[in-house]
Amino acid sequence: MKVAFMSSVLPRATLAELLAAGASHGYEGLEFRPEWKHAHGIELDASADQRAEAAKRLADSAIEPCCLSPGVRFNRDDPGERDESVHPLRIRGRELQGEYLGFPAQSVCRNNPPQ
Protein backbone atom coordinates (compact mmCIF):
# COMPACT_ATOMS: atom_id res chain seq x y z
CA MET A 1 0.00 0.00 0.00
CA LYS A 2 1.19 3.49 -0.84
CA VAL A 3 0.50 6.48 1.38
CA ALA A 4 -0.99 9.46 -0.46
CA PHE A 5 -2.17 12.94 0.40
CA MET A 6 -4.84 15.22 -1.07
CA SER A 7 -4.05 18.43 -2.92
CA SER A 8 -6.49 20.34 -0.71
CA VAL A 9 -3.94 20.31 2.14
CA LEU A 10 -1.86 22.80 0.10
CA PRO A 11 -4.38 24.65 -2.10
CA ARG A 12 -1.99 27.48 -3.01
CA ALA A 13 0.86 25.17 -4.05
CA THR A 14 1.71 24.74 -7.71
CA LEU A 15 1.98 21.23 -9.09
CA ALA A 16 5.78 21.34 -8.74
CA GLU A 17 5.48 22.53 -5.14
CA LEU A 18 2.92 19.82 -4.30
CA LEU A 19 5.14 17.09 -5.72
CA ALA A 20 8.20 18.39 -3.88
CA ALA A 21 6.31 18.74 -0.58
CA GLY A 22 4.88 15.24 -0.86
CA ALA A 23 8.26 13.71 -1.60
CA SER A 24 9.93 15.59 1.26
CA HIS A 25 7.37 14.17 3.71
CA GLY A 26 7.64 10.60 2.45
CA TYR A 27 4.37 10.40 0.54
CA GLU A 28 4.14 8.18 -2.51
CA GLY A 29 0.83 9.30 -4.00
CA LEU A 30 -1.29 12.39 -4.58
CA GLU A 31 -5.06 12.73 -4.93
CA PHE A 32 -6.12 15.82 -6.85
CA ARG A 33 -9.15 17.92 -6.02
CA PRO A 34 -10.24 19.56 -9.30
CA GLU A 35 -13.01 22.18 -9.49
CA TRP A 36 -11.77 23.99 -6.40
CA LYS A 37 -9.33 26.04 -8.52
CA HIS A 38 -6.28 25.08 -6.49
CA ALA A 39 -2.96 26.33 -7.81
CA HIS A 40 -1.89 22.86 -9.06
CA GLY A 41 -3.88 23.42 -12.27
CA ILE A 42 -5.32 19.90 -12.54
CA GLU A 43 -8.81 20.90 -13.67
CA LEU A 44 -11.61 19.35 -15.68
CA ASP A 45 -11.51 22.37 -18.01
CA ALA A 46 -7.71 22.57 -18.42
CA SER A 47 -6.46 23.10 -21.97
CA ALA A 48 -4.68 20.35 -23.91
CA ASP A 49 -1.35 22.14 -23.36
CA GLN A 50 -1.97 22.42 -19.61
CA ARG A 51 -2.90 18.74 -19.42
CA ALA A 52 0.20 17.72 -21.38
CA GLU A 53 2.48 19.79 -19.13
CA ALA A 54 0.89 18.34 -15.99
CA ALA A 55 1.15 14.79 -17.32
CA LYS A 56 4.86 15.29 -18.08
CA ARG A 57 5.53 16.70 -14.61
CA LEU A 58 3.68 13.80 -13.03
CA ALA A 59 5.53 11.23 -15.14
CA ASP A 60 8.87 12.73 -14.07
CA SER A 61 7.95 12.71 -10.36
CA ALA A 62 8.46 10.13 -7.63
CA ILE A 63 4.92 10.96 -6.45
CA GLU A 64 2.30 8.86 -8.20
CA PRO A 65 -1.09 10.44 -8.98
CA CYS A 66 -3.78 8.15 -7.63
CA CYS A 67 -7.14 9.87 -8.04
CA LEU A 68 -9.14 12.78 -9.39
CA SER A 69 -11.64 13.72 -6.71
CA PRO A 70 -14.11 16.29 -8.04
CA GLY A 71 -16.98 17.55 -5.92
CA VAL A 72 -19.64 15.38 -7.53
CA ARG A 73 -22.63 14.63 -5.33
CA PHE A 74 -24.28 11.32 -6.06
CA ASN A 75 -26.61 11.63 -3.07
CA ARG A 76 -28.87 14.46 -4.22
CA ASP A 77 -32.54 13.57 -3.88
CA ASP A 78 -33.65 15.62 -6.86
CA PRO A 79 -32.76 13.75 -10.10
CA GLY A 80 -32.18 17.02 -11.98
CA GLU A 81 -29.73 18.32 -9.39
CA ARG A 82 -27.98 14.95 -9.26
CA ASP A 83 -27.62 14.80 -13.05
CA GLU A 84 -26.31 18.37 -13.12
CA SER A 85 -23.65 17.41 -10.58
CA VAL A 86 -22.68 14.13 -12.27
CA HIS A 87 -22.76 15.33 -15.90
CA PRO A 88 -19.32 17.04 -16.05
CA LEU A 89 -17.67 13.95 -14.59
CA ARG A 90 -19.35 11.71 -17.15
CA ILE A 91 -18.21 13.97 -19.98
CA ARG A 92 -14.61 14.76 -18.97
CA GLY A 93 -13.65 12.87 -15.81
CA ARG A 94 -12.79 9.49 -17.28
CA GLU A 95 -10.92 11.01 -20.22
CA LEU A 96 -8.85 13.23 -17.93
CA GLN A 97 -8.19 10.40 -15.52
CA GLY A 98 -6.35 8.61 -18.31
CA GLU A 99 -4.47 11.73 -19.39
CA TYR A 100 -3.39 12.89 -15.95
CA LEU A 101 -3.07 9.66 -14.09
CA GLY A 102 -1.88 7.39 -16.87
CA PHE A 103 -4.24 4.50 -16.36
CA PRO A 104 -7.27 3.45 -18.40
CA ALA A 105 -10.49 5.30 -17.74
CA GLN A 106 -12.56 3.51 -15.16
CA SER A 107 -15.01 4.29 -12.43
CA VAL A 108 -13.34 4.33 -9.05
CA CYS A 109 -16.47 5.10 -7.03
CA ARG A 110 -17.76 2.70 -4.39
CA ASN A 111 -21.33 3.53 -5.31
CA ASN A 112 -22.42 3.45 -8.91
CA PRO A 113 -23.74 6.84 -10.05
CA PRO A 114 -27.36 6.87 -11.15
CA GLN A 115 -27.88 6.29 -14.86
pLDDT digits (tens, 9 = 90+) for 16-67: 999 999 999 999 999 888 888 899 998 878 888 888 898 899 889 999 888 7
Buried b (16+ CB within 10 A) or exposed e, 43-79: beebeeeebeebbebbeebebbbbebbbebeeeeeee
Q: Is residue 35 part of a domain?
A: yes
Q: Is residue 111 part of a domain?
A: no
* Confidence (pLDDT) at 95: 64
Q: Is residue 57 part of a domain?
A: yes
Q: Could you tell me the residue range of the domain that residue 10 belongs to?
A: 4-101
- What is the number of domains present in the chain? 1
Q: Is residue 73 part of a domain?
A: yes
Q: Is residue 115 part of a domain?
A: no
5 bridge partner residues: 30
* Confidence (pLDDT) at 98: 64
CA 26/CA 43 separation, integer angstroms:
25
Residue 13, pLDDT above cutoff 90: yes
Residue 97, pLDDT above cutoff 60: yes
Q: Is residue 85 part of a domain?
A: yes
